[in-house]
Chains A and B, each alone.
Chain A
Amino acid sequence: MYGCLSARLFRTVALAFLTAAAAQAEEMVVAFGAEPTQVEPTRATAGVDAYFVSLFYEQLLNVSPELERIDWLAESWSFEPVGDEHILSVKIREGVKFHNGDTLSAHDFRFAFERQRDPLSRAAGRFRYVRDLVVRDDHRFDIVFREPDAAFVPWNLALWAIPRRHFEAVGEAGMQAHPVGTGPWKFVSRKPREELVVERFEDYWNASAKPRAKRLVIKIIPEDTTRVAAFKTGAVDWIDAVPPAQVGDFEAMPGVRTVSLPGPNNLYLGLNAVDPRSPLADVRVRRAVAHAIDTDAIVEFVVHGQGIRTAQLAPGSVGYDAALTPYRYDPGLARALLAEAGYPRGIRVNCYNLTTPREPNIKEVGEAVFAFLGAAGIRCRVHQMEYGAWINLLRGASRPTMDGIVSAMWGHGLPADPTDAWSGHLHTAADNWGRNSYHSDPAFDRLVEELRTTMDPGARYRLASRIARLKHEQVAGGLPTYRPLISLAWRDTLRFRPWPAAGWRSMYEIDLARPHGRVGSSARAELLRRERLAP
């Protein structure tokens, strides 16, 4: 009898142990360098907030790993002029479920529209050309525009799918505490500044993008050295933002895969060309700036090759023209241009250097840029600026404080589209335009406004190319330098395919490389043991 009881007890304990082990076996641990503050998409801004939002929530369109914009929650959509208005008609997919079991309908998008255009929404400005959203039936709605807005497409039609009824029941605080969307991952728990735990959404509508891993733990480790150490010790199996100086080491590590992918940001130098007293108002001085900087050397040695050199736009951008090449490094020519402009002894200007962990080594890049300028006779009084001070300086309302040269950045998105950026820093500052612009030229204003309202993709590409060439010739709206790369690393015990949303951190395709393997240090030990035992 005792033997029978012992056997039962043993079986029970063993079963419990195996169940726990199986649950652990399907868990993966990854680490992000930055943490979002908002997980509710109608209150989120771009950038880091997307890291978590993209797990839980979805939009009408998405971008594939091949950087093609694809229909997502929208089954189809079209944009047509109707009388004085322009109508974007959307038909959404049927049968899409939220994590709480509610079914997605057009009314949910109407609710999202109201929240997103609320002044408290960080992205209310995206609806500035929208008059209304009209629900036609449960699966169809129209977005009514006063005038066409071509930037609406790069924003994936701007709207987020949020569950109206659930939202009204739990309120904003409830949604922040426990996000409920249609996305591939369901919220389990969150410890701010420590970790987020999510699990696969079993009723996810898109079988081809449904995660195969059961559970994902996202650790927040802001310090580069610590994040790298966590990877090397096996505490995590995937990390983002591999420090540029260490990408080579990671690429050489056995059993580790590393990719460097274009980020959504474009870096440039803002030049104050609107103040007639500024030497930078003269195009010859701006060209001197362009010739004075060895940007190729900066990309190679300061960011360790983790950047794509740009004349104006990176490959893959709307309007990219391979024939448009960057200004060559020629400090002699820079000095000659300065002399031709009436500054034979050079000039002295204020130079504002952005320091932020948002872009790797950006402080050092600025310092190198200003050193190159000094060597060519453009002597900088360097002001170091943390992000908050920099963004206050950069925006137009602070003018004329930004009276010289500023290291700057403006996201072009993935796939890249310059419409928004050029509206902000090339168009003359006025009304909804030129928020961070230090350039003023009516010809560019007309072109940028035309780009904003040109919906045909082919025509947009040609127009953007034309603007890029003119912008390049005039060194207008700043001098582009490079587009940073984002580096990710993971062990080959994982199968991971980066999708571009959230700066390549969206976790659609992440899974164990081998079935029933356990990711984590003991999992690797187990895999190694099996490999040793294998014939």
Chain B
Amino acid sequence: MTWDWGAVADFMPRFWDGLLLTLQILALGSLISFALGLVWALLMRAPSRFVRWPVGAVTEFIRNTPLLVQLFFFFYVLPEWGLTFSALTTGIFAIGLHYSTYTMQVYRAGIEAVPAGQWEAAIALNLPVRRTWTAVILPQAIRRVVPALGNYVIAMLKDTPILMTITVLEMLGEARLFAQQDFQFTEPLTVIGVAFILIAYPASLLVRAMERRLVR
């Protein structure tokens, strides 16, 4: 096996395209998982069990079935019901939805970690319930959970190659396409492996630094 720098150079234009798409999936998928996860977490605190039970059942189901199965379901089954989206849109939604069932638990822990005295002070000041959430509870809860959310962003980064299976040309998709055309697997796979660690490792250091600063 020989290392061919020429192949690396040939792969680079495709690599940049793949990297850009990977980061796009990661950014949008994270935003969806942050937002939906918060919605789930708040719905799970609803007074009515007719809200809590369905939300609990659906999110439990999503969390305990493989992302790949969900991805295939959205990509191959939804069109049969007349719901057609691009592969990229489907992939971003599927990964965001899947991870939202994890971030909801992060938010829940963050909300529960806000001391009871904060709720009591809000009641004593007669703050409306909505205002108590937006001004007192959530700012404290979210500050605490930023590092944990960061960990899920890193996990999500490592799951983005799954989208290759529904034809999305993120980094791994581009690498495989290049390899199949040129029969050179070593160089493109090595390049994206290095790219993953160059993103994930500093990100994990950042998360650790945030843990020290934010979680008190």
Our verdict on whether A and B bind, yes or no, reads no
Q: Contact residues of A with B, CB < 8 Å? A: none
Residues of chain B having any CB pair with chain A under 8 Å: none
